[in-house]
Amino acid sequence: MKVGFIGLGNMGAPMAQNLAKAGHDVTGFDLQAPCPEGVSKAETAAGAAKGQDVVITMLPNGAILRSVADEIIPAMDKGAVLLDCSTVDVESARAVAEQAEAAGVMAVDAPVSGGVGGASGGTLTFMAGGRQEAFAKVNPLFDVMGQKAVHCGDSGAGQSAKICNNMILGVTMIATCEAFALADKLGLDRQKMFDVVSTSSGYSWTMNAYCPAPGVGPTSPADNDYQPGFAAELMLKDLRLSQQAAEAVDADTPMGHSATDLYAQFVEQEGGKGMDFSAMLPRFEKRHRG
């Protein structure tokens, strides 16, 4: 396929490169980042979008997505697909999809899970929203960039699935870190706690696959001084999106709300920016009740 790729940062660059390696004709654009090997450079976002079968965007937030959409949708061919892999608010995803459809362009919102490692290794999971016809057209690209793509429903459903998933992730990581900090003060060996919890009802992804305690369980960012696999500020972004969505539909999410407040405090007041989101554990280790 002929693919335009807009947003060649830490996630976008390896995704675009994997598509090029698989034989797709990829043209990229980014205001700052260079094009990876195998990707042709366009001088403008509209230039990257013109004449392509699919245009992929990987952008920081909904406001930037809307701005880029204003530029690229008029340049896209009718029947082409705008595939947005950014994590943005549901409202922006739906607004851009409506804008695309009005111009004769199909739209899919497909945020990803798997981080930079998944982007490099082609093992991302895509959560997709949009028409079935559009999903089917871009599915071969999902096969290159990831290991799984789930069609979640109409436009906005991909973003909805992502923020619900990451709200669970944020809440669960906090609970896991709290439990380790409590175990420490109770004099319980961390490895013994892991051995029990990882095979008991406390089993979770944050315990079993991404343990926040160094030297316990499979290798994780905790074993690399909490250098980010998934940065705390990105978790905060996703939690804030979850609360924005909850507010819009009048959903009661007290745990999600509390997790948002805790990550905001950690990132904005306690030096957590630039650290992995599992660095909540050393944060709790230093704190006292009340």
Q: Which amino acid is at 249?
A: V
- Per the residue annotation, which of 162, 192, 237, 273 is the catalytic one? 162
Helix axes 90-102, 62-72, angle to 10 degrees: 10
Distance CA 6, CA 28 (A): 6
Q: Is 152 helix (H, G, I), strand (E, B) or coil?
A: strand
78 is catalytic: no
Distance CA 85, CA 244 (A): 19
Distance CA 136, CA 139 (A): 5
Which tokens hold the place of 174? 């906090």
Which tokens hold the place of 62? 């909904």
Q: Confirm if 36 and 8 have CB atoms less than 8 A apart.
A: yes
Alpha helices by DSSP H, listed for 187-249, are 190-197, 205-208, 232-249
φ, ψ of residue 198 to 5 degrees: the values are -65, -15
Q: Confirm if 170 and 86 have CB atoms less than 8 A apart.
A: no
Task: Cite the active site residues.
Answer: 162
